Chain A
Amino acid sequence: DIQMTQSPSSLSASVGDRVTITCRTRQSISSYLNWYQHTPGKAPKLLIYAASSLQSGVPSRFSGSGSGTDFTLTISSLQPEDFATYFCQQSYNTPYTFGQGTKLEIK
């Protein structure tokens, strides 16, 4: 299985801040990396696919970058609705695996 290492596990920030979350793998997964947002009580939401492609309807303040083994999710200017948990997922091969998640909290 491809192990996903996501950091940090939690993060405190303020509205308007720029934040970056990192996901790493031990083996190359090319650009087969997706990012999701999960708010408690709601369905997880796809934000970024193929490492850097913005899913339709997702605000442009979200961006993704990276390829191979190192990937980042950046939120350029935090909005109140962005405080949630974010997790990465590799779809390079099965079994698909996920990062442990980053909980983004209000400072």
Chain B
Amino acid sequence: QLQLQESGPGLVKPSETLSLTCTVSGDSISSSLYYWGWIRQPPGKGLEWIGNIYNSGSTYYNPSLKSRVTMSVDTSKNQFSLSLSSVTAADTAVYYCARQEDIVLPKFDCWGQGSLVTVSS
């Protein structure tokens, strides 16, 4: 059974870099069928797509965050990661990792439970 699990610090100081890792179990991140993505939800607000990464390392970022986002994949550990630099309080959110399947059309068919990251000094 496919499972995704986010991990990383729950508290980050302003101006520092937020780093999260998503560990995938039950499927290989090297599969050619899928992209792997990050989505976030600030408290009381809607969901925001951050970006996707393919197993080759090709990335697709939301233009609103592109200047601060870096995603990477580690196929040996079956993990993919998110880095968001120069964070502010506006980056406080629950961060989700998800698998995107593109058969028929793109859709996030499996999500992690989410990881709350608070930006505060």
Contact = CB atoms under 8 A, between A and B. Distances in A.
Interface of A: 31-32, 34, 36, 41-46, 49-50, 53, 55, 87, 89, 91, 94-101
Contacts of B108: 34, 36, 44, 46, 89
Interface stretch (B7-15, B45-53, B72-80): B45-53
A31 B113 contact: no
Given A42-B113, A46-B108, A95-B49, 19 more contacts: A31-B105, A34-B107, A34-B108, A43-B111, A43-B112, A44-B96, A44-B108, A44-B111, A46-B110, A50-B105, A55-B109, A87-B47, A89-B107, A89-B108, A94-B49, A94-B60, A96-B49, A98-B46, A101-B47
Given A41-B113, A42-B113, A95 B62 contact: yes
B91 to A, nearest CB: 17
A98 B46 CA distance: 7
Interface in B98-115: 98, 104-114
Q: Interface of chain A, helix or strand or loop or mixed?
A: loop
Interface of B: 4, 39, 46-49, 60, 62-64, 96, 98, 104-114
Nearest to A33: B105
A50 B107 CA distance: 9
Contact of B104 (A43, A49, A96): A49
Contact of B63 (A32, A34, A46, A95): A95
A34 B39 CA distance: 15
Contacts of A91: 105-107
4 closest A-B pairs by CB = A91-B106, A98-B47, A96-B49, A43-B111
A4 to B, nearest CB: 8
Contacts of B62: 94-95
A42 B47 CA distance: 15
B46 A96 contact: no
Contacts of A32: 105-106
A46 B107 contact: yes
A50 B112 CA distance: 22
A49 B109 CA distance: 9
